[in-house]
Amino acid sequence: MSKTKKALLIAALAAFSAPVHAQTAGPLAPAEGIVIQTTGEVRVKPDLATVHAGVVSEGKTAAEALSKNTPALARLIEAVKAAGVAQGDLSTSQIALTPRMTQPSASSSPQARAPKIDGYEARTGITVIVRDLAKSGPLIDALVAAGANDMSGISFGLADEDKAKDQARDKAAEAARTRAEIYAKRLGVKVGELVSIVEAEAEPPVRPMGDTRAYRMAAGAAPVQVEPGEVTVSAALRTVWRIEK
């Protein structure tokens, strides 16, 4: 065998064996020691509300539906501004124009008839952040009075979650040590030094919702009463502890 052919053969074998070597190494073995996953939770009162409202208009043509919708949305925006909401806390959250389809009546014809467009529906929505919870109920009343006919919900949250998040982290860390010691005691070993700390992905804050579809939206309805409840903030932690015999 010539030197050139021999070199090519060696290179081919090396390329072939490389993936096998990587595969034998495989993923990292599970961490040795006591592996603990904990979650800490705190419940706090929210300090802001997010209101979703909108207008749905119908028309025989797309232009007609939009022509009804545009001034109606402008009235909602004026109502929000009149309530003292800052410009940065108001945003457009939905713009949609969809055809309204009707199915032709059954006939003696064996061929199925395709549905036809019978009109259009224009739907626009706004999202409003209310930083004074006492004003959220009156704002909903004002939006309904201004012509809102699509109230898709209200949620509550925190302007700054850092403090609550740190409290949740404290609870997760405390639980990690306690749980490691429980397992170690039951299994006849001792908890050694902490060798790994990983903050895992925790669930997003649970924001209580108010179902605005249940609100009375007719003229003269009783003022809306909003109950914010509490927000749950959580932190997840993964720790690894050495085992001492």
In a domain, 39, yes or no: yes
How many whole angstroms separate alpha carbon 232 and alpha carbon 164?
9
Q: How confident is the model at residue 1 (pLDDT cuts 50, 70, 90)?
A: low
How many whole angstroms separate alpha carbon 91 and alpha carbon 201?
29
Q: How confident is the model at residue 15 (pLDDT cuts 50, 70, 90)?
A: very low
Examine the domain organization and report whether 187 and 92 are in the same domain.
Answer: no
Q: pLDDT digits over 114-151, tens only?
A: 788 889 999 999 999 999 999 999 999 999 999 999 98
Examine the domain organization and report whether 146 and 76 are in the same domain.
Answer: yes
Examine the domain organization and report whether 123 and 144 are in the same domain.
Answer: yes
What is the percentage of the chain residues whose pLDDT exceeds 70?
74
Q: Tell me the whole-structure pTM to 2 decimals.
A: 0.68
Examine the domain organization and report whether 128 and 179 are in the same domain.
Answer: no
Examine the domain organization and report whether 129 and 188 are in the same domain.
Answer: no
How many whole angstroms separate alpha carbon 72 and alpha carbon 2?
86
Residue whose C-alpha is closest to residue 144's, from 88, 215, 90, 49: 215
Q: How confident is the model at residue 226 (pLDDT cuts 50, 70, 90)?
A: confident
**At residue 234, does pLDDT exceed 60?**
yes
Examine the domain organization and report whether 54 and 131 are in the same domain.
Answer: yes
Write out the H or E segment, with its range, that includes residue 116.
strand 116-130
**At residue 28, does pLDDT exceed 50?**
no
CB contact at 8 A, 117 and 99? yes
- Give Cα 144 to chain centroid, integer Å: 26
**At residue 22, does pLDDT exceed 90?**
no
Torsion of CA 218, 98, 209, 175, to 10 degrees: 180
C-alpha count within 13 angstroms, C-beta hemisphere, residue 236:
7
Range of the domain at 186: 30-45+160-208+227-245
Examine the domain organization and report whether 40 and 53 are in the same domain.
Answer: no
**At residue 2, does pLDDT exceed 80?**
no
For residues 245 and 99, the model is more confident at 99
Residue 103's Cβ-count burial label (10 Å; 0-12, 13-18, 19+) is: exposed
Q: pLDDT digits over 153-211, tens only?
A: 899 999 999 999 999 999 999 999 999 999 999 999 999 999 999 998 756 655 555 54
Q: How confident is the model at residue 27 (pLDDT cuts 50, 70, 90)?
A: very low
How many whole angstroms separate alpha carbon 76 and alpha carbon 40?
41
| Overall domain count for the chain | 2
The pLDDT assigned to 200 comes to: 81
Write out the H or E segment, with its range, that includes residue 77.
helix 62-82
CB contact at 8 A, 139 and 124? no
**At residue 3, does pLDDT exceed 90?**
no
The CATH number of the domain where 204 resides is what? 3.30.110.170
